[in-house]
Structure 1
Amino acid sequence: MVGTAARTEEMSWTDPTCPVARTLDLVGDRWSLLIVRDAMDGARAFTDFQHRTGIARNILTDRLRRLVERGILDRQTAPTGRRRNYVLTEAGRDLFALIVAARQWGERHAFAPAEPHSLLVDESGQPLPELRPTDAHGRPVDVDTTSVQHDRCP
């Protein structure tokens, strides 16, 4: 399978040197992220995604095509052999932390204190702890203790 980097060589980037901008160029619209969220929650068939999101068929078709082209989803023949399923690629699975971070941000800022919402839990049924970025020594970092070095290669 061709990697995501190879699939993105022909793309036009909003901000070519910014990893955040490139990520958003690849998966940053609402529908694409909801499709990725649902794929992480077990959706595989076109109808699964349509029922879970309520997205119009033409928009869903376009977003699924883009996610496949960009290496986020892959199309595979279903076990029955009668239809095609969409499954997360390694690059798609790598979006898990982004989805968890968006979920946790939403829990803190998009709901009233006692308003019910879905909850992401681990295998034992416990809510995931809040994601917190850390430095190379495991110490918490935030916007005040980090900076961006521009045009740097790893």
Structure 2
Amino acid sequence: MQRTSFSGMACSIARTLDVIGEPWSPLVLRDVWVGLNRFDQIQADLGISRKVLTERLGHLVEQGVLERHPYDQRPRYEYRLTQKGTELVDLLMVMTRWGDKWLAGEAGPPVLYRHHACGEISAVDLRCDRCGEPMHAGDVDPLPGAGAAV
């Protein structure tokens, strides 16, 4: 099934969805981030078909989010996050905070995050890169940027 491409839209959300908007892609990124780097590991963790996983990995490599590195003579590859991919994981961490708040239920969050700088368990919090104050949807005014559609 051919997906609609959002890459040409003058919208950063649409362009990001063009990279990771297919439902398996964020889960593949999560797996690589936590250290499941090989095809068989990812497939076993997600229960995804080989065909779909091959397509997702190919797309993420093509988009520059993952890199393939050979680890065997057959050839077999492991996947590693690029800088672009690592920054996408930041987005997944924000999604995790939302899911923990609204969907985790009484059992609580399935994953906790220990911050390297202080050693404490913490949640992700969006902050303004200028003043350091919390920055959420009600705290900003969206304004046209240089790349806005005319």
> Shorter-chain TM-score category?
0.7 to 0.9
Q: Which residue does 1:104 correspond to in 2?
A: 97
**CA-to-aligned-CA distance 1:108-129 (integer Å, 9 cap, x gap):** 0112133462323335763223
Counterparts of 2:41 and 2:120 in 1: how far apart (Å)?
26
TM-score, normalised via structure 2 length: 0.82
* Correspondence 1:70 to 2:70: no
Q: Which residue does 1:6 correspond to in 2?
A: none
Cα-Cα RMSD: 2.4
Count of residue pairs brought into register by the alignment: 143
Q: What are the equivalent positions in structure 2 for 1:38-117 lying under 5 Å apart? A: 38-78=31-71, 80-82=72-74, 83-115=76-108, 117=110
* Correspondence 1:18 to 2:11: yes
Look up the SS of the partner of 1:132 in the other structure.
Answer: coil
Q: Quick one: percent identity of the two aligned structures? A: 32
1:44–1:87 CA contact under 8 A, matched in 2: yes
Q: What are the equivalent positions in structure 2 for 1:129-144 lying under 5 Å apart? A: 129-134=123-128, 136-144=130-138
TM-score, normalised via structure 1 length: 0.80
Look up the SS of the partner of 2:68 in the other structure.
Answer: strand
Counterparts of 2:143 and 2:37 in 1: how far apart (Å)?
39
1:77–1:85 CA contact under 8 A, matched in 2: yes
- Structure 1 residue 81: Cα displacement: 4.2
Q: Which residue does 1:121 correspond to in 2?
A: 114
- Structure 1 residue 143: Cα displacement: 1.9
Look up the SS of the partner of 2:61 in the other structure.
Answer: helix
1:74–1:86 CA contact under 8 A, matched in 2: yes
- Structure 1 residue 15: Cα displacement: 6.3
Look up the SS of the partner of 1:118 in the other structure.
Answer: coil
Counterparts of 1:16 and 1:128 in 2: how far apart (Å)?
35
Letter matched to residue 43 of structure 1: L
Q: Which runs of 5+ in 2 are unaligned?
A: none
Which stretch of structure 1 is more off in the superposition, 48-57 or 111-120?
111-120
Runs of 4+ in 1 over 6 A off after TM superposition: none
Q: Which residue does 1:4 correspond to in 2?
A: none
Q: Aligned match of 1:147 in 128, 137, 141?
A: 141
